Structure 1
Amino acid sequence: MDTKELEKLPSKDGAIDKGNAHFIVELIEYEHDSVVSKSIMKKSTGSINALSFDSGEGLNERTSPYDTYVQLIDGSAIIEVDGKASTLQTGDGILIPADKPSHIKPNGRFKLILTVIKSGYK
């Protein structure tokens, strides 16, 4: 790997350099029988998190008071929103509306980016 490619990786402490391109799928690694979460950015108006799920792992049903955008960056997962299931593949995304129940079900190992937008809510 040449140094230009290395510049696109997160730093040793996992922080993302602002203003520099990076490989999104390499922000977080898989861990055996685990769900791993890494905060990319957290502000009072929302947050961006990277998550990795080993085979068989998912997130229980929950309801958020904020709109949430989920984008798969590796693998496949089943995202259920208000009772309607969608199978997402690498590169696919789905908007989960505020106050609607959602559930992330495993479909093998997968990684995703979760973006929560708080601005404009009560």
Structure 2
Amino acid sequence: MSTDPTAPEVRNLKQMLQYQEQAVVSRMLVKNPAGNVTLFAFDGNEGLSEHTAPYDALIIGVEGRAEVTLGGVRHTLGEGDSLLMPANVPHAVHPVGGFKMLLIMIRGVKE
């Protein structure tokens, strides 16, 4: 094991973030000009109301299950499932019990 805190390390996404009662917890894993990667843990009764984002995003289910509404269409997302969400399309996340997901947001490159 390296003593360098910046050294790459294999981590388990399920164990990196714990559920908190009546809360949505998040942890930013990567943030740079190209985009960011955020891990979320939703308590069973918590979610994200409908909103839009200015960038394309990819959701990857890490644990549990959720109903994700994207442009008015409902999708069921479970562990290992992914859903691409285009920029500016309304979306919402409604967990079915505890749910963990990885959100990868990609910013457009300006030329």
Q: Which residue of 2 aligns with 1:49?
A: 38
Q: Which residue of 1 aligns with 2:62?
A: 73
Partner deviation per Cα, 1:82-117 (whole Å, 9 max, x = no partner):
000001111111000011000001211100000100
Tell me: CA distance 1:121–1:90, structure 2 relative to 1, closer, same or farther (3 Å). farther
Q: 2:24 aligns with which of 20, 35, 46?
A: 35
Tell me: CA distance 1:43–1:83, structure 2 relative to 1, closer, same or farther (3 Å). same
For 1:56, what is the secondary structure of its paired residue?
A: coil
1:20 aligns with 2:9: yes
Percent sequence identity over aligned pairs: 31
Aligned residues: 108
Partner deviation per Cα, 1:58-100 (whole Å, 9 max, x = no partner):
0011111100100110000001110000011111110000110
For 2:14, what is the secondary structure of its paired residue?
A: helix
Tell me: CA distance 1:121–1:59, structure 2 relative to 1, closer, same or farther (3 Å). farther
User: Superposition pairs for residues 77-88 of structure 1, below 5 Å?
Assistant: 77-88=66-77
- Structure of higher RCO (CA pairs closer than 8 Å, 6+ residues apart): 2
- The letter for the 1-side match of 2:49 is N
Q: CA shift at 1:39, angstroms?
A: 0.5
- The letter for the 1-side match of 2:99 is F
TM-score by length of 2: 0.90
Structure 2 spans left out of the alignment, 5+ residues: none
CA distance in 2, matches of 1:120, 1:96: 17
For 2:20, what is the secondary structure of its paired residue?
A: coil
CA distance in 2, matches of 1:84, 1:18: 42
- The letter for the 2-side match of 1:54 is D
CA distance in 2, matches of 1:65, 1:83: 18
Structure 1 spans left out of the alignment, 5+ residues: 1-6, 8-15
